[in-house]
Amino acid sequence: SYEKIWLVVAILLIVGFISTVTYGATAVGIDMVDDEGGTVNASALDEDPRFSEPRVEQVGDNEYEAYVIAQQYIFNPDPIRVPANSTVTFFITSPDVIHGFEIVGTNANTMVIPGQVAKITVNFNDPGEYGIVCHEYCGSGHHTMEGSVVVQ
């Protein structure tokens, strides 16, 4: 009968709708975090080999690694000093709340999430001072949260 057909069609539509939603959620995922840099215990950064001493390390001829802590309301170290024509990989994490890390005038732009290590690599060819700004609202001092990269 027509009633039976419509009932089946309605059920198929519902099943199809539910599986589309489920598939969409699992296939697309909500994984905004670039996990290349790995994870870290946000409440024990002082015991972490990468973050116990925020610093810039030379790791190759023109290659540097910067271990940076973003916290209310500073970036450490500040300034980050590197020579001109260097490639710098930044590892950035936060002990408190979500911050942003944007190097003005470059394409470096990431969220900094407690427990996660953001990793971005930037080439600095020209000497100069590049501002770092926090572009995620992180509290009353957010607008004052700035740092810099000094390329010499």
Binding site for ligand CUA (CB under 6 A): 73, 99-100, 134, 136-138, 142, 145
How far is the C-alpha of 94 from the C-alpha of 99, rounded, in Å?
7
Instruction: Indicate the residue among 65 and 136 with the shorter CB distance to ligand CUA.
Output: 136
Instruction: Indicate the residue among 17 and 137 with the shorter CB distance to ligand CUA.
Output: 137
**CA-closest candidate to residue 117, choices 24, 61, 54, 62:** 54
Smallest distance, ligand CUA to C-beta of residue 42, A = 14
How far is the C-alpha of 77 from the C-alpha of 89, rounded, in Å?
14
By DSSP bridging, strand 74-76 and strand 63-71 are antiparallel
Instruction: Indicate the residue among 76 and 87 with the shorter CB distance to ligand CUA.
Output: 76
Smallest distance, ligand CUA to C-beta of residue 136, A = 5
- Cβ(76)–Cβ(51) below 8 Å: no
Smallest distance, ligand CUA to C-beta of residue 32, A = 17
